Copies of this chain bind each other. A is one copy, B any other.
Amino acid sequence: MAASIIDVARRAEVSTATVSRALRGLPNVSEATRERVLRAAEELQYAVSPHASSLASGRTGTVGVILPFVNRWFYSQVVAGIDSVLRAHDLDLLLYNLGDERVHERFFSRMPLRRRVDALIVLNLPLSAAECEALVSMEVPVAVLGTRIPGCWHVSIDNAEGASTAVRHLINLGHRRIGMITGALGDPRGFTTPIVRQHAYRTVLSEADIPYDPDLEAPGNFGIDEGASAMAKLLSLPDPPTAVFAESDQMAFGALRTLNRMGLRAPDDVSVVGFDNHETAELLGLTTVAQPVAHQGELLARQILDALSGACEEPTQVVVPTRLVVRSTTGAASAARPRHQHLSPRPGPEPDQNSRTTAR
């Protein structure tokens, strides 16, 4: 069996209390004793039992991360950012994927993280008011990405700004018929990002005196395939858009796929702008609104550290900037030709470098 603190105490000829103090580097231990303890621990290959330690101290050394997906690019980047900071401070990372509806419900009915984590990080989860309250009632610091929960720490980008920039970019290129592929679900339950972006889209259009047309908003649910369908829907309109703003790169990828499959091209036939600056956006030449993804994870973790160390009393809110990255899927509206001309292959040199690898 593994050695316990008692074994170490015996071997170093001190009490367990002293061992505990020596090992954790607390003051009021003489140098000689500390060394004796360290040596004994080393010789016995002693490792503290985290459970006993947590039980006695009330601290768990663990931070819970709850999120809707672990396998999507965005989330894995954020988790990587969180991990790098937490690990540097010897905090463990307990991952909780609430993507499945049943898992989500169970989570909030049983609160399995209660007393199990020192802090909580919530990534982009649609939560009801009751659920938010449940989180807060855990009495640990909570840092939230993308949503707003009263009393919690916050990191986010300026979604309105980012979306506006994207749409303005299209308008500046001369587009007037601009579609949006939204990520909204039926029941957003407080996950306001899609709402904010959609609102910005509408606002910018109206500021440019472009009439609002609900048909130009197609829901895509943040997935590639859904983005593809949304684009198909937009293209089937009697008067299809000449430019499309997809509020995630993944959906934009789907949109590009649809274009390719229909023998159309970006930006010749339709301009496409995404959101995120996904790692393959560059590959595809996608114009997009870049946000620093892993960095946001780091910031969340830092907030947690501040809260845990007491360095900072009141929860703070950090807003990180976005920036437009113009690549080759957006172009001047004048370049767009009437759609029917494009259904046959076109000869002639092509305008553009990147982005053409795309298989059709």
- A281: min CB distance to chain B, Å: 10
For A20, the chain B residues whose CB sits under 8 A away are: none
A2 and B115 contact, Cβ closer than 8 Å, known pairs A260-B357, A285-B357, A359-B327: yes
The reply on A160 being an interface residue by CB < 8 A is no
- A236: min CB distance to chain B, Å: 20
For A60, the chain B residues whose CB sits under 8 A away are: 51
Question: In the assembly, what is the distance between CA of A179 and CA of B195, in Å?
Answer: 49
For A261, the chain B residues whose CB sits under 8 A away are: 353-354
A356 and B260 contact, Cβ closer than 8 Å, known pairs A79-B70, A345-B350: yes
Question: In the assembly, what is the distance between CA of A355 and CA of B224, in Å?
Answer: 15
Interface string of A94-126 (1 = CB under 8 A from B): 111100100100000011101110000000000
A71–B285 touching, CB < 8 Å: no
The reply on A16 being an interface residue by CB < 8 A is no
Q: Report copies per complex.
A: 2
The reply on A329 being an interface residue by CB < 8 A is yes
Question: In the assembly, what is the distance between CA of A328 and CA of B359, in Å?
Answer: 6
The reply on A92 being an interface residue by CB < 8 A is yes
Within 8 A of B (CB), among A20-53: 47, 49-52
Question: In the assembly, what is the distance between CA of A353 and CA of B360, in Å?
Answer: 7
A47 and B97 contact, Cβ closer than 8 Å, known pairs A71-B294, A358-B283, A359-B328: no
What bracket does the count of chain A residues touching chain B fall in?
35 or more
B115–A260 touching, CB < 8 Å: no
The reply on A80 being an interface residue by CB < 8 A is yes
For A114, the chain B residues whose CB sits under 8 A away are: 2, 47
- A289: min CB distance to chain B, Å: 17
Question: In the assembly, what is the distance between CA of A50 and CA of B350, in Å?
Answer: 62
Within 8 A of B (CB), among A333-360: 345, 347-350, 352-360
A83 and B55 contact, Cβ closer than 8 Å, known pairs A350-B345, A350-B360, A357-B256: no
A280 and B294 contact, Cβ closer than 8 Å, known pairs A50-B116, A51-B54, A115-B47: no
Select one of B87, B112, B286, B352 contacting A97, CB under 8 A: B87
Chain B residue at minimal CB-CB distance from A293? B71
Question: In the assembly, what is the distance between CA of A18 and CA of B359, in Å?
Answer: 65
For A350, the chain B residues whose CB sits under 8 A away are: 345, 360
B354–A224 touching, CB < 8 Å: no
Chain B residue at minimal CB-CB distance from A344? B349
* A residues lining the B interface (CB < 8 Å): 2, 47, 49-52, 54-55, 60, 62, 69-73, 75-77, 79-80, 83-84, 87, 92-97, 100, 103, 110-112, 114-116, 224, 253, 256-257, 259-261, 263, 265-266, 279-280, 282-286, 294, 327-329, 345, 347-350, 352-360
Instruction: Write 10 A-B pairs (CB below 8 A) sorted by A numbering.
Output: A51-B60, A70-B80, A71-B79, A80-B97, A83-B97, A87-B97, A257-B282, A257-B357, A285-B360, A345-B349
- Additional A-B contact list (11), CB under 8 Å, known A47-B114, A51-B55, A283-B284: A2-B114, A47-B110, A50-B112, A51-B54, A70-B80, A71-B294, A73-B76, A83-B95, A93-B94, A257-B282, A328-B360
